[in-house]
Structure formats: structure tokens, C-alpha cells
Structure 1
Amino acid sequence: MKDKNSFAQTQYVGMYGRVLPVSLIFGIIAGLAYGWCAFFLVMLLGLVLPFPAMYATGKIADAFVFLHSGGSGENTLKDQIAGDLDKIKILKREKKFTAALETAETVLARDPEHPEALFLKAQILSQEFEKYGAANACLSKIIAMDPAPDDKLLQWASALREEILECIRKRAEQQG
């Protein structure tokens, strides 16, 4: 399920798409009948009216979350983990690797065998902190789960593990 904020934003943009053409038509009619002040007043209302609608849309999004979570009003563990995984990806894109790693640790504290969280943690550890041993341990857990051979995450984990093992070999050659 999409995040309720993205749902509300989508509804908000859609609201402007419906309100502005209507307010433009009424604004032109009001402008012809009552002058430019009426035109600007109607256009201003067209810009302001979606704000209460946005509030209502947020309430509707809350209702969808309530219904989706079985009426508990709280996100399920699966929803929370999905949100945290998205957060990790965003933090990585923003180059906030320490925060991304902390979020990955939070996910793994809730579900120690979560393959995507293990993979993201391994990526961060190997590519940003050069902690190849810890990254290799995460990838080994994914591979040990024995997912289907055509599983994309398994393929990515295997490829990243090969890169890590190569980095470990190079580091050993440089030191010894």
C-alpha cells in the first residue's frame, strides 16, 4: 500500500486539476459580468478551496490505513518494515549512510532474517564504510536462506558478494 502522504499528495494534485479549470471558467464569467476584481476573487477562491479538501483527503487516507490494517488503526509490522526499507533507500540516495545503516539495523532488530534489509545493510557496509567482513556475513545469511535460483535479490547478493570477496583479496594482497 502506498504511503498515506503520497496518497494525499496525489489527491491534492488531482483536486487542483479539477478545481482550476472550473474556477477559470467561473472567473471569466464573473470578470465579464462584474469586472476584473470579480475575476481575481474567483481565481483566488480556486487556489484556496483545495486546502480544506486536502485536509479531508488526509482524513480519507487515514481511513484507508485503518481499513488496511484490519481496523487496528496502526500499521502492521510488514507495513512498518516496508516504510523503513523505503526510508533506507531514500537516505542512501541522499548520501546519509549512517542514518541508513541505523534504519537497516532497526529493521533487522524486528526481523533479523529480512533479506532486503540484509542486502541494503551489506551494500552500505561494503560500498560506503568498507566493512567487507560484516557485509559478507549479511550476504551469507541471504544466500543461506536458499531462495529460488531466479530470485533477483539472490542474484544481486551473489554479485555483491563476489565484489566483496575480490576487495578482501586485494586488501590481503596489499597488506601481505
Structure 2
Amino acid sequence: MKIKEIIVVEGKDDTTAIKRAVDADTIETNGSSIGDSVIEQIKLAQQTRGVIIFTDPDFPGEKIRKTISELVPGCKHAFLPKDEARPKRGRGIGVEHASNDAIRKALHSIKEEMKEFSSEISFDDLLDAGLIGGSKAKDRREKLGLLLKIGYTNGKQLHKRLQMFQISRGDYLNAINKILKEENK
């Protein structure tokens, strides 16, 4: 599988995993304090070939994703579920631990940022579905992120991400209904 866009990852082990799974070029951020020269490389990549942000499904990975997204608008995003980013043995979480199939699946399901966005889904909809506040909110947001392939977010960021990826009200409601049905088994 050849990827036209340049994939932004966190480090060299992520690059190794990506190149093992697909034919692609990468840019490494080398951690969450992204230097100006790396941002300039990403901007150039976005102008010439496009960019896919593919960071670890953890707090530092989300911080990197948010930083790049703010400084380089219009990027595409690939999300890896946490359970597919854990090593078979040992600790940690990251793209470097994912199987080739998991990486290909994430890259097949990329989401594109919309520059101008409005949402059919209101903040009140999120409250009504128990995605913000309450004992089940975090678990529901994790499941929603998996079903909609938008990754996990905290309550504050969920509405923004639903807007950014133009998730339709129908897709949102189908996912919520599936989560609630699963809980009531």
C-alpha cells in the first residue's frame, strides 16, 4: 500500500513500524515540544503532498496532534485504538507496538479536517448521551471514538472533534445507540 501523503509520527520507532506496514514517507516530531524547523517541514509537506498525523493514542500524542493541527490547518488524521497500540509484553503504548494490519486499518480510515465547520450535533446532545460528566462518560467517549474512528478525546474536545471531522448527526446517533444497547445487555 503506497501512501501519497507524508505521515507525521513521534519518533524513529514509529517510522520503522509505518514503513514495515506501508510504503510511505514520514516526518518525526521527536517528542511533544515540536521545534520550528519540524513545523516548517510539516507545512511544506502539507502544501506539496498532504499530511496525515498519526500519533500515539495517549496524552502526549494528542498534544502533538492538537499543536500540529492548530499550526498546519487541513491535515488528515489517522487514529489507532489504545488496545492495538500496546506491546504483547511489557508496558507502554504507541504506534511502534501496532501490528501491520492495525496500522493499515488506521490509514485506511483517515479523517480529514474541515477548515470551515459547523455541527449538527450540539453540546447538549453530548450531555444527554452521558458523554460528559457521569461515571460512564469516559468509557462512552472511548467507544464513540472507536466507532466513529476519531480517536479518544476528553469531554471538552469531543464536540470540537465531531465538528472538525464533520460527523453527521445520523452517524453520531447510530454510534450512541450501539453503545447504549451494548451497555444494556
What TM-score comes out, normalization by structure 2 length?
0.23
Which gives a bigger RCO, structure 1 or 2 (Cα 8 Å, sep 6+)?
A: 2
Larger Rg: 1
What TM-score comes out, normalization by structure 1 length?
0.24
Q: Which has the higher helix share?
A: 1
